Amino acid sequence: MGWSAAAGFVWIVLVSIVALMPFPQHKPYALAMLLLFPVLLVLIALDYGLPWAVLFFLGALSIYRYPALYYLRVLRRRMRRGGE
């Protein structure tokens, strides 16, 4: 197992631990983990290819589902306003 896969595994474990913290306390940690995500995604894609990067993305999406849904709704609203 390469170091990017190990880092991705550690990231998923740490994000899960952060998710167990009370909401006001986990905000800065969750933001830090979210900022590390694109870097890990690119490293995994470079080391293992696109299919593994997509799997990592889907795993992270299941963890960050509420922020993802929020930004999806914002994007939909903006697209509807732009089409009017």
**Domain ranges (residues) in the chain:** 3-83
- Give the C-alpha separation, 84 to 77, whole Å: 11
* Closest of 58, 77, 78 to residue 68, by C-alpha: 58
pLDDT of residue 66: 84
* Closest of 32, 54, 35, 58 to residue 45, by C-alpha: 54
- Give the C-alpha separation, 45 to 70, whole Å: 26
pTM of the shown model: 0.76
Burial of residue 36, with CB atoms counted within 10 A of its CB: 0-12 exposed, 13-18 middle, 19 or more buried: middle
pLDDT tens digit at each of 84 positions of the chain: 688 989 999 999 999 898 888 888 888 888 898 899 999 999 999 999 999 999 999 988 888 888 889 989 999 998 988 755
pLDDT of residue 43: 95
